[in-house]
Structure 1
Amino acid sequence: MLLTITLDPITEAQLLAKAEDQGQDINTLATQLLTALLAWETQETEAAIAGIQQGLNDFESGNFRNFDDFVGEQQEKHGLSDQ
Protein backbone atom coordinates (compact mmCIF):
# COMPACT_ATOMS: atom_id res chain seq x y z
CA MET A 1 0.00 0.00 0.00
CA LEU A 2 1.33 3.39 -0.94
CA LEU A 3 0.76 6.09 1.64
CA THR A 4 1.99 9.65 1.42
CA ILE A 5 2.57 11.55 4.64
CA THR A 6 3.48 15.22 4.80
CA LEU A 7 5.93 15.96 7.60
CA ASP A 8 7.00 19.30 8.95
CA PRO A 9 10.60 20.14 8.02
CA ILE A 10 12.00 19.42 11.49
CA THR A 11 10.40 15.98 11.75
CA GLU A 12 11.46 15.15 8.20
CA ALA A 13 15.06 16.13 8.98
CA GLN A 14 15.04 14.04 12.18
CA LEU A 15 13.67 11.01 10.35
CA LEU A 16 16.18 11.39 7.53
CA ALA A 17 19.08 11.79 9.97
CA LYS A 18 17.99 8.73 11.93
CA ALA A 19 17.70 6.68 8.75
CA GLU A 20 21.17 7.79 7.63
CA ASP A 21 22.66 7.09 11.07
CA GLN A 22 21.22 3.57 11.02
CA GLY A 23 22.01 2.97 7.36
CA GLN A 24 18.35 2.31 6.63
CA ASP A 25 15.97 3.34 3.92
CA ILE A 26 13.76 6.15 5.22
CA ASN A 27 10.58 4.26 4.26
CA THR A 28 11.70 1.15 6.14
CA LEU A 29 12.57 3.20 9.20
CA ALA A 30 9.28 5.10 9.10
CA THR A 31 7.39 1.80 8.88
CA GLN A 32 9.33 0.37 11.84
CA LEU A 33 8.74 3.47 13.95
CA LEU A 34 5.02 3.60 13.17
CA THR A 35 4.65 -0.12 13.86
CA ALA A 36 6.40 0.23 17.22
CA LEU A 37 4.31 3.27 18.16
CA LEU A 38 1.04 1.55 17.29
CA ALA A 39 2.02 -1.56 19.30
CA TRP A 40 3.01 0.61 22.28
CA GLU A 41 -0.27 2.52 22.09
CA THR A 42 -2.24 -0.72 22.06
CA GLN A 43 -0.33 -2.03 25.10
CA GLU A 44 -0.81 1.23 27.00
CA THR A 45 -4.53 1.29 26.24
CA GLU A 46 -4.95 -2.33 27.35
CA ALA A 47 -2.99 -1.65 30.55
CA ALA A 48 -5.12 1.43 31.32
CA ILE A 49 -8.34 -0.50 30.77
CA ALA A 50 -7.10 -3.34 32.98
CA GLY A 51 -6.17 -0.86 35.72
CA ILE A 52 -9.54 0.84 35.57
CA GLN A 53 -11.32 -2.52 35.64
CA GLN A 54 -9.25 -3.58 38.66
CA GLY A 55 -10.20 -0.35 40.43
CA LEU A 56 -13.87 -0.93 39.69
CA ASN A 57 -13.62 -4.53 40.89
CA ASP A 58 -11.89 -3.41 44.10
CA PHE A 59 -14.55 -0.77 44.71
CA GLU A 60 -17.40 -3.21 44.12
CA SER A 61 -15.85 -5.69 46.56
CA GLY A 62 -15.41 -2.99 49.21
CA ASN A 63 -11.65 -2.89 48.86
CA PHE A 64 -10.97 0.84 49.00
CA ARG A 65 -9.88 3.59 51.36
CA ASN A 66 -11.53 6.77 52.49
CA PHE A 67 -10.14 9.73 50.52
CA ASP A 68 -9.35 11.71 53.66
CA ASP A 69 -7.34 8.75 54.99
CA PHE A 70 -5.45 8.56 51.70
CA VAL A 71 -4.65 12.28 51.80
CA GLY A 72 -3.42 11.98 55.38
CA GLU A 73 -1.19 9.04 54.48
CA GLN A 74 0.30 10.93 51.54
CA GLN A 75 0.89 14.04 53.61
CA GLU A 76 2.67 12.01 56.24
CA LYS A 77 4.64 9.99 53.67
CA HIS A 78 5.85 13.09 51.82
CA GLY A 79 6.15 15.47 54.77
CA LEU A 80 3.40 17.77 53.53
CA SER A 81 1.48 20.12 55.78
CA ASP A 82 -2.25 19.83 56.36
CA GLN A 83 -3.58 22.96 54.65
Structure 2
Amino acid sequence: MRRWVWRGSFFGVSEVLEKKGLFSSLYTDRGSHYWYTPEAGGKLDKNHLTQFGRAMRQLGIQMTPSYSPEARG
Protein backbone atom coordinates (compact mmCIF):
# COMPACT_ATOMS: atom_id res chain seq x y z
CA MET A 1 0.00 0.00 0.00
CA ARG A 2 2.71 2.49 0.98
CA ARG A 3 4.41 2.34 -2.40
CA TRP A 4 1.21 3.53 -4.08
CA VAL A 5 1.25 6.62 -1.90
CA TRP A 6 4.66 7.75 -3.09
CA ARG A 7 3.81 6.84 -6.66
CA GLY A 8 0.84 9.17 -6.37
CA SER A 9 3.11 11.89 -5.03
CA PHE A 10 5.52 11.45 -7.94
CA PHE A 11 2.60 11.53 -10.37
CA GLY A 12 1.21 14.71 -8.81
CA VAL A 13 4.55 16.49 -8.90
CA SER A 14 5.20 15.40 -12.49
CA GLU A 15 1.80 16.77 -13.57
CA VAL A 16 2.55 20.15 -11.97
CA LEU A 17 6.02 20.22 -13.54
CA GLU A 18 4.58 19.48 -16.99
CA LYS A 19 1.83 22.11 -16.73
CA LYS A 20 3.46 24.88 -14.69
CA GLY A 21 7.21 24.21 -14.76
CA LEU A 22 9.73 23.86 -11.96
CA PHE A 23 8.72 25.22 -8.57
CA SER A 24 10.97 26.10 -5.65
CA SER A 25 9.39 24.51 -2.58
CA LEU A 26 6.89 21.89 -1.45
CA TYR A 27 5.04 21.90 1.88
CA THR A 28 4.14 18.37 2.97
CA ASP A 29 2.81 16.44 5.90
CA ARG A 30 5.30 14.27 7.77
CA GLY A 31 4.28 11.02 6.07
CA SER A 32 6.93 8.32 5.82
CA HIS A 33 6.99 8.59 2.03
CA TYR A 34 8.18 12.21 2.38
CA TRP A 35 10.34 12.11 5.52
CA TYR A 36 12.30 9.65 7.62
CA THR A 37 11.43 9.80 11.32
CA PRO A 38 13.64 7.53 13.46
CA GLU A 39 11.17 7.54 16.36
CA ALA A 40 7.39 7.72 15.95
CA GLY A 41 6.21 11.23 16.78
CA GLY A 42 9.80 12.43 17.00
CA LYS A 43 11.86 14.85 14.97
CA LEU A 44 12.59 14.24 11.33
CA ASP A 45 16.00 13.21 10.10
CA LYS A 46 16.51 15.60 7.20
CA ASN A 47 19.86 13.97 6.35
CA HIS A 48 18.28 10.55 5.74
CA LEU A 49 16.17 11.16 2.64
CA THR A 50 13.38 9.02 1.27
CA GLN A 51 13.22 8.23 -2.44
CA PHE A 52 10.80 11.12 -2.88
CA GLY A 53 13.07 13.45 -0.90
CA ARG A 54 16.08 12.50 -3.02
CA ALA A 55 14.12 13.23 -6.20
CA MET A 56 13.07 16.65 -4.90
CA ARG A 57 16.66 17.46 -3.93
CA GLN A 58 17.86 16.52 -7.44
CA LEU A 59 15.25 18.86 -8.90
CA GLY A 60 16.28 21.64 -6.53
CA ILE A 61 12.89 21.68 -4.79
CA GLN A 62 13.10 22.53 -1.09
CA MET A 63 10.78 20.41 1.04
CA THR A 64 9.20 21.84 4.19
CA PRO A 65 7.59 19.51 6.74
CA SER A 66 4.40 20.48 8.50
CA TYR A 67 4.21 20.32 12.26
CA SER A 68 0.69 21.75 12.53
CA PRO A 69 -2.37 19.59 13.27
CA GLU A 70 -4.19 21.19 10.30
CA ALA A 71 -1.73 19.63 7.87
CA ARG A 72 -2.31 16.13 9.15
CA GLY A 73 -4.45 14.72 6.45
Structure with the larger RCO, 1 or 2 (CA within 8 Å, 6+ apart): 2
Bigger share in strand: 2
Q: Same fold (TM over 0.5)?
A: no
TM-score, structure 1 length as denominator?
0.27
The higher radius of gyration belongs to 1
Name the one with the larger helix percent.
1
